[in-house]
């Protein structure tokens, strides 16, 4: 039986950057995915937003490191992954949202994040042509940005292979065996492998992997839709997040929506449905486009003549508190969770990959211990809250 230091289940937003980090640390690494090639799960459904401006310190620290990796990739390795530091802008149209965003900014500044609450005039500068009726202002965090999930993951994949990581595609993990509470081997539909450590990075299917070990993971997939327009001349560079929900009005029912203009001038957009749509369904709906286009054209009337090229639907692997579940579990030596990324797996991946690698090579620092405690499997899922 072939033996590895680490086997990663899932070649997606988390599995690939993790393989990059573990292989770079000298660990003999195998990634197994049931799909035919890299990043064919929900990674390719992400629209590419990357921010460190969360309110949970673990996500702030992980994404700060991710941003360093995305931002330095081209200079370090010569491949353009379309990293753009255009910032993030959360809009406030009500007093309640204004107060909430101001409080979040105070907390985020406490973590040293570069973010401010700005007035509506500044928002109009950032998003030319925005409909400012009732617009009170919003947050602006200039160091956040975006990158292409497809370009980034293929770049991480190639580099991880150069460092020695191996990938087996078209292979499904169907069991994990233990002996004396220690991982012994992993079984797929094609073979068996020995591993010192197994990382569950199976995204929407993470709880199925947990079930092999009687680890009951509260990870529930929920579907979200996104779309992309034809290219037009670039006129804004920030990610715009409208957190004002549509409640049974001319825009239908939905929670927040967000969009940005990518390097090619295309607008990429995404909407959080109301109510949530749990399940594994990835077929597009007929309700998404009419809902989001009405909201976007109302917010930015100059969008009205832009043509939409295509839409798609993917899954957020959700947890009850909207935060990932990371780290080892008691009583099973050699198993690590890297699950429940919700709507943030792309931005968390590179920083998280390095943290997972430090767990295995036993080089954790004091910040790592704090992150692992905050994101542990045993936490109280109903205590911590964050902007999702």
Among 8, 27, 30, 32, binds ligand FAD (CB under 6 A): 32
Among 203, 210, 227, 273, binds ligand FAD (CB under 6 A): 203
x-marked contacts with ligand FAD along 40-59 as a string, rule CB under 6 A: xxxx-xxxxx----------
Closer of 101 and 268 to ligand FAD (Cβ): 268
Cα–Cα dist 122/102, whole Å: 15
Per CB under 6 A, does 173 bind ligand FAD? yes
Sign of CA dihedral 350, 355, 356, 362: positive
Per CB under 6 A, does 60 bind ligand FAD? no
Q: How many residues bind ligand FAD (CB under 6 A)?
A: 40
The answer to whether 15 and 8 have CB atoms below 8 angstroms apart is: yes
- Residue nearest to ligand FAD as judged by C-beta position: 12
What tokens does 382 get? Answer: 């109903």
Per CB under 6 A, does 193 bind ligand FAD? no
CA distances from 287 to 154, 227, 245, 251, 263 (A): 32, 13, 16, 11, 28
x-marked contacts with ligand FAD along 332-351 as a string, rule CB under 6 A: ---------x-xxxxx----
The answer to whether 43 and 10 have CB atoms below 8 angstroms apart is: no
What tokens does 171 get? Answer: 């292979």
CA distances from 306 to 161, 260, 367 (A): 40, 14, 46
Q: Is 151 exposed, middle or buried (0-12, 13-18, 19+ CB in 10 A)?
A: middle
Q: Return the residues of window 295-334 that contact ligand FAD according to CB under 6 A.
A: 314-317
Q: Which stretch binds ligand FAD (CB under 6 A): 28-36, 81-89, 352-360, 377-385?
A: 28-36
The answer to whether 377 and 339 have CB atoms below 8 angstroms apart is: no
Q: Return the residues of window 228-267 that contact ligand FAD according to CB under 6 A.
A: none
Closer of 135 and 335 to ligand FAD (Cβ): 335
Binding site for ligand FAD (CB under 6 A): 9-15, 32-35, 40-43, 45-49, 172-173, 201-205, 224, 226, 270, 314-317, 341, 343-347
């Amino acid at each position: 039986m072939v033996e590895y230091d680490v086997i990663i289940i899932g070649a997606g937003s988390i599995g690939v950057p993790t393989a990059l980090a573990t292989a770079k640390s000298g660990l003999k690494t195998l990634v197994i995915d049931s799909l035919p090639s890299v990043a064919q799960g929900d990674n390719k459904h992400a629209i590419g937003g990357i921010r460190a401006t969360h309110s949970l310190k673990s996500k702030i620290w992980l994404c700060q490191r991710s941003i360093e990796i995305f931002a330095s990739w081209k200079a370090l390795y010569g491949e353009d992954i379309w990293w753009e530091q255009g910032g993030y802008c959360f809009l406030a149209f009500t007093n309640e949202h204004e107060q909430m965003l101001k409080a979040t900014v105070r907390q985020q500044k406490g973590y040293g994040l570069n973010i401010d609450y700005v007035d509506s005039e500044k928002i109009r500068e950032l998003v030319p042509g925005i409909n400012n009726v009732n617009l009170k202002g919003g947050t602006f965090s200039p160091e956040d940005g975006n990158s292409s999930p497809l370009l980034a993951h293929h770049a991480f994949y190639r580099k991880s292979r150069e460092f020695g990581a191996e990938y087996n595609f078209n292979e499904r993990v169907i069991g994990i065996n233990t002996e004396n509470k220690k991982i012994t081997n992993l079984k797929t539909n094609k073979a068996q492998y020995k591993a010192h450590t197994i990382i569950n990075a199976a995204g929407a299917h993470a709880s199925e992997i947990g079930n092999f070990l009687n680890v009951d993971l509260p990870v529930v997939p929920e579907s979200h839709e996104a779309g992309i327009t034809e290219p037009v001349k670039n006129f804004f560079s920030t990610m715009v997040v409208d957190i004002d929900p549509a409640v049974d009005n001319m825009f239908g029912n939905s929670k927040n929506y967000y969009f940005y203009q990518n390097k090619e001038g295309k607008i990429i957009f995404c909407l959080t449905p109301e109510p949530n749509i749990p399940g594994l369904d990835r077929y597009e709906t007929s309700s998404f486009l009419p809902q989001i286009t009405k909201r976007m054209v109302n917010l930015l009337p100059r969008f009205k003549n832009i043509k939409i090229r295509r839409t798609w639907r993917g899954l957020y692997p959700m947890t009850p508190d909207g935060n990932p579940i990371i780290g080892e579990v008691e009583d099973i030596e050699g198993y690590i969770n890297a699950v429940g990324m919700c709507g943030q797996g792309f931005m968390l991946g590179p920083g998280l990959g390095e943290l997972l690698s430090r767990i295995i090579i036993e080089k954790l620092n004091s910040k790592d211990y704090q992150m692992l405690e905050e994101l542990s499997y045993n936490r109280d899922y109903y205590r911590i809250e964050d902007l999702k």
